[in-house]
Structure 1
Amino acid sequence: MREAVISFMKKHQLLKKGKTVLVGVSGGPDSMALLHLLSSIRTEYNLRVVVVSVDHQLRGDESKADLTYVKEMCDKWEIDFYGTSVDVLSYKHSRKIGTEVAARELRYQIFSEQMQKEQADYLMLGHHGDDQVETMLMGLTRSSNPRAIAGIPFKRPFATGFIVRPLLGVSKNEIEKYCKQHNIIPRRDPTNETTDFTRNYFRNKVIPLIKTQNNNIHTTVQHLSENIQADETFLVNEALKLFDKVVTIDKDERVATFKIDAFQTYPLALQRRFYHLILNYLYDELPKDLSYVHEEQFFVLLTSKKANVHINFPHQLKVEKAYQQLSFYFDESQTLKVNETLLIPGEIILPDGAKVVANFTDNPGVTDENTYVCRKEDIALPLHIRMRQDGDRMCWKGLNGSKKIKDIFIDAKVPMKERDKWPIVTDNNGEILWLIGLKKGQPKKQANNTSYIKISYEKGSV
């Protein structure tokens, strides 16, 4: 095993001479074999080795004994040791996450802190070839995203250096043999033998069946993992270039938009990764109920012949097609509803920060798209500002009859997400006077020699 691991490290450039290496050690066979091997080459490589061991407090005195065992072995092998305990159960309940996830997050927090404290170049972990098989199979059962089945990376940036996993090229059985050969008596976690956790089920039920067909499956899968990761890295980098070219981002509002026709000129492989880049950008953490079904809906939406259509993603994320533009945004429209009386003189601040001001005047002056003027006697006071309602219609000079507000929005190519929060001015009889900034109505009554009402709209932001 020793030669295989050293060869794997050289092939992937996982270790340079004269560096500081942290080793995550639980006391189990994997991490103990890794520590022993690293200890055997530390003089040749001029390494400073520091062990970090974390007690998750999930097995009472047993897990405390694991910590003690690791410290004793470090003293025996003359290796620096740092040990600590974390409260996984409290963290799990406060974050509302699973036990495995909680333990991992806390463990990696400790690793990061110690990496920075020691200014370490590497954090070495004992994941091996069988772990790789488990991880990739679990990914296959949960997701259709290539990154989910790419497996565990042998090297990735972390804290002040890199996480490296030198044992990915060897099997669990080889590690057990190494421990026996070097008289290492590791600690055993009995929970690893149960099937209460998903990974344990794959470890104890699925992997043994696969090994009856291919006992060298860990080698096959590791080659597959490296190929997938290399391909994925290239494609994601190309997708990032596409992202920079076609996407417009509003960081404050967490909105991403792009032109569909320009996007569709790129290969489907880049489009898929582009889609995932947007989701990773918008979501603080990808929802568990986000699946390949949403990806399929996204691509159906792109080719939809409907001018305005949207789909709902988890956590109030909407993906909306408005003619040739596609937008990702979080739907907070419920906070933008308004139905208020507009006093004269007076003003109303809309939820988006815009302002509507009304005054009486004898000289309305020049009007523009943000100003509406009518005679006082032509309308029924008081005025009101509201959002659109089903069946809304309005009329204006030169129009024979009336027209639906919905059709006015369509003609003006107003995106659907804007329509439900578009302000409308009505009189007290409900007659629509002004679809602000878009269409000015014609009051039914026409009086002469009367004062005017002037309404102004000023854009703003909250």
Structure 2
Amino acid sequence: MDLTEKILFYMKRYHMIPENKNIVVGLSGGADSVCLLYVLVALRKKLGLQLCAVHVHHGLRGVEADADEAYVRDICRAWDVPLKAIRIEAAALAKQWGIGCEEAGRRARYKIFEECLQEMGGCHGAIAVAHHRDDCAETLLFHMFRGTGLDGMAGIRPVRKTERESMIIRPLLETGKTEIESFLQEKGISWRIDSTNTGEDYTRNRIRNRVLPYAEKEICSGAGAHLAKEAQLLAETADFVRSCTRQALERCRVEADALKTNVCGRERVEHVGRKKVTAEHTKYDKQTIIKLNIELLQQEDIFLQKQCVRECLLEIGTGRDLTAAHIEAVWHLVGTDCQSGRKLRIPACQLEVERQFRLLVFRRLERQQDALPEQQDASPEQRFDQGRQVGLQTAELPLPEHSSELHVPGMGVVSVRYLQRDEPTSGEKNTAVGEKNTAAGEESGAAVGAFLKNIPQKKYTKWLDYDKIIQSVVFRTRRSGDYLTIDDNFSKKSLKKYMIEEKIPANERNSMMVLADGNHIIWVPGGRISTYYRVTEQTRVILEVTCMEKQE
């Protein structure tokens, strides 16, 4: 079968031909995008397609990128395809958005593609991009090496919807890189080569240039194709699991018009049977809330219980930084031995989960949701002092969500900064950002080594792995059950034992402030940090805490 017919068959199988026939084609000038444009041009008359090519110059590769733009202008002129060539400054956008340069370029590209599609005539068109089978295999390995769930192992999807209900389509996803280049050579078509793709500064490049070729040669011929098929199977599995999860959530979700009353100290849930509520969530006291019946949830398979927790966290919070550790921590609230009132705060997702007798309640709360009525207008430091004055053992001083300073009793002014690790191409080590983001860049071995050498070794300045924080970061005094992790196996030591070994006077221990994540002590200021929160080469967002008035 001719490659053009093969791609047409794949497009029809996944319903890639848009309703209004308008397609924006992402055209970099590389073999993949040139092949994609050639095939769509060949099918243009047969399918009645309206094409527009879009080339984005990222302002990164100088003369080489200028030559790419000139090349795509030539082929679009030769093939009678309208072209929009747009220039951006990806490095400047990365700084502005507090993310890696590669991720900033990707976000900007898709925004431009969407805008160009709107100019062509509304949202019922498609954006065609040139990901191919080898990209799918590479993505599967990349996600598995770093740790992922079913969605990550599903790799790249053939079709996905954008927020504006247009489609992103990938017609080449069943076609290998070698097949693409052979096809272009047969047609006498040249293409541009991005020099950054041949280096090994990025993890993806090393998988593409070393791991996959080794697997093809030394392990199994056709390894890339087999991995791509596995990704497709896993995508279908993920869709099935999501369907089962939604059914389970329907069984466990407490309807929005449920009434709560207290009877003999126990919570009773009554349903007002006027109508079935189909909304995914409701607003209550200006807070987004989801409630699950724990008794019904416990009847589901453990795997589905965790999937239900995951779906609720994604639905109500900012799910980009959600991790398996967060899901596991929330799932423990479902256990029969968990007491009512137990609460978990997940700063990465800006939400809170609480066990309320037979309910599991997910909330996205305002920043001051925990303050007492008389404390609503108080600063965090004032609320902490008020809590201690009325004898609250749980008085906590939360760290600000953005880089700033706060006053901690007994410690003075403490500086808090959130640092985002940049890609090596950005030319800077770290960038302070206003809030937590997920880095998209990957770093070379040399860059990682240099980064690890820059970790402060000062007594009152510490770098901590913010991504590992499960609940919330607070300064407080010690409590029963507090512990630290003390080695690479994450062996635990009670805070009490640590203080005794460090010869901290008994009369000072109860007033000492520690930085805590639940009962896990992140840092004893002036002393050690828990090994678990130590910054590693996998760290993407760094929490830097400095006691400004302490002598180093």
Normalising by structure 1, we get a TM-score of 0.69
Taking the aligned partners of 1:335 and 1:272, their CA distance within structure 2 comes to 27
Q: For the aligned residues, what is the CA RMSD? A: 2.9
Is 1:326 aligned to residue 385 of structure 2?
no
Counterpart residue number, 1:220: 226
Deviations 1:336-359 (A, max 9, x none): 556xxxxxxxxxx63569xxxxxx
Deviations 1:90-149 (A, max 9, x none): 110111111111111000000110111112622111100000001111121233321111
Taking the aligned partners of 1:59 and 1:122, their CA distance within structure 2 comes to 29
Counterpart residue number, 2:330: 298
> 5 Å matches for 1:88-107?
88-107=90-109
Counterpart residue number, 1:307: 339
Is 1:170 aligned to residue 183 of structure 2?
no
Structure 1 contact 54–86 (Cα < 8 Å) conserved: yes
Deviations 1:15-57 (A, max 9, x none): 3697222211100000001111111221222222211111111
Counterpart residue number, 2:67: 65
Counterpart residue number, 2:407: none
> 2:210 corresponds to which letter in structure 1?
K
Instruction: State which of 204, 207, 215 in structure 2 corresponds to 1:202.
Output: 207
Structure 1 contact 211–217 (Cα < 8 Å) conserved: yes
Structure 1 contact 17–47 (Cα < 8 Å) conserved: no
Is 1:253 aligned to residue 287 of structure 2?
yes
Deviations 1:437-457 (A, max 9, x none): xxxxxxxxxxxxxxxxxxxxx
SS of match in other structure, 2:343? strand
Counterpart residue number, 1:29: 31
* More moved, 177-186 vs 153-162: 153-162
Deviations 1:385-437 (A, max 9, x none): 99852489xxxxxxxxxxxxxxxxxxxxxxxx9xxxxxxxxxxxxxxxxxxxx
Relative to 1, partners in 2 of residues 1:333 and 1:31: Cα closer, same or farther, differing over 3 Å? closer
> 2:67 corresponds to which letter in structure 1?
A
Structure 2 contact 55–72 (Cα < 8 Å) conserved: yes
> 2:145 corresponds to which letter in structure 1?
T
> 5 Å matches for 1:377-456?
389-390=391-392
Taking the aligned partners of 1:387 and 1:274, their CA distance within structure 2 comes to 41
> 5 Å matches for 1:7-406?
7-15=9-17, 19-119=21-121, 121-158=125-162, 159=164, 161-212=166-217, 213-245=219-251, 246-247=253-254, 249=281, 251=283, 252-287=286-321, 290-303=322-335, 305-308=337-340, 309-315=342-348, 317-329=351-363, 336-337=370-371, 350-351=374-375, 389-390=391-392
Structure 1 contact 27–70 (Cα < 8 Å) conserved: yes
Taking the aligned partners of 1:242 and 1:225, their CA distance within structure 2 comes to 25
Question: C-alpha displacement at 1:256, in angstroms?
Answer: 3.1
Q: Which runs of 5+ in 2 are unaligned?
A: 257-280, 378-385, 395-471, 473-552
Taking the aligned partners of 2:94 and 2:18, their CA distance within structure 1 comes to 37
* More moved, 14-23 vs 55-64: 14-23
Deviations 1:344-386 (A, max 9, x none): xxxxx63569xxxxxxxxxxxxxxxxxxxxxxxxxxxxxx999
Relative to 1, partners in 2 of residues 1:336 and 1:10: Cα closer, same or farther, differing over 3 Å? closer
Taking the aligned partners of 1:391 and 1:5, their CA distance within structure 2 comes to 66
Structure 2 contact 55–69 (Cα < 8 Å) conserved: yes
Aligned length: 351
State the percentage of identical aligned residues: 27
* More moved, 170-179 vs 136-145: 136-145
> 2:238 corresponds to which letter in structure 1?
E
Relative to 1, partners in 2 of residues 1:40 and 1:331: Cα closer, same or farther, differing over 3 Å? closer
> 2:47 corresponds to which letter in structure 1?
Y
Taking the aligned partners of 1:90 and 1:4, their CA distance within structure 2 comes to 41
Taking the aligned partners of 1:89 and 1:234, their CA distance within structure 2 comes to 40
Taking the aligned partners of 2:59 and 2:19, their CA distance within structure 1 comes to 36
Taking the aligned partners of 1:199 and 1:10, their CA distance within structure 2 comes to 30
Relative to 1, partners in 2 of residues 1:183 and 1:250: Cα closer, same or farther, differing over 3 Å? same
Relative to 1, partners in 2 of residues 1:391 and 1:31: Cα closer, same or farther, differing over 3 Å? closer
Taking the aligned partners of 1:313 and 1:64, their CA distance within structure 2 comes to 45
SS of match in other structure, 2:106? helix
SS of match in other structure, 1:327? strand
Structure 2 contact 287–365 (Cα < 8 Å) conserved: no
Question: C-alpha displacement at 1:179, in angstroms?
Answer: 1.6
Question: C-alpha displacement at 1:187, in angstroms?
Answer: 0.9
Q: Which runs of 5+ in 1 are unaligned?
A: 339-348, 354-383, 393-416, 418-462
Taking the aligned partners of 2:370 and 2:158, their CA distance within structure 1 comes to 49
Structure 2 contact 353–360 (Cα < 8 Å) conserved: yes
Taking the aligned partners of 1:220 and 1:49, their CA distance within structure 2 comes to 33
> 1:297 corresponds to which letter in structure 2?
A
> 1:208 corresponds to which letter in structure 2?
P
Relative to 1, partners in 2 of residues 1:313 and 1:304: Cα closer, same or farther, differing over 3 Å? farther
Relative to 1, partners in 2 of residues 1:335 and 1:386: Cα closer, same or farther, differing over 3 Å? farther
- For the pair shown, the structure with the greater C-alpha radius of gyration is 1
Counterpart residue number, 1:434: none
SS of match in other structure, 2:138? helix
Question: C-alpha displacement at 1:186, in angstroms?
Answer: 0.7
Taking the aligned partners of 2:346 and 2:370, their CA distance within structure 1 comes to 20
Question: C-alpha displacement at 1:185, in angstroms?
Answer: 1.3
- Kindly report structure 1 stretches of 4+ aligned residues shifted beyond 6 Å: 331-335, 384-387
Taking the aligned partners of 1:13 and 1:144, their CA distance within structure 2 comes to 28
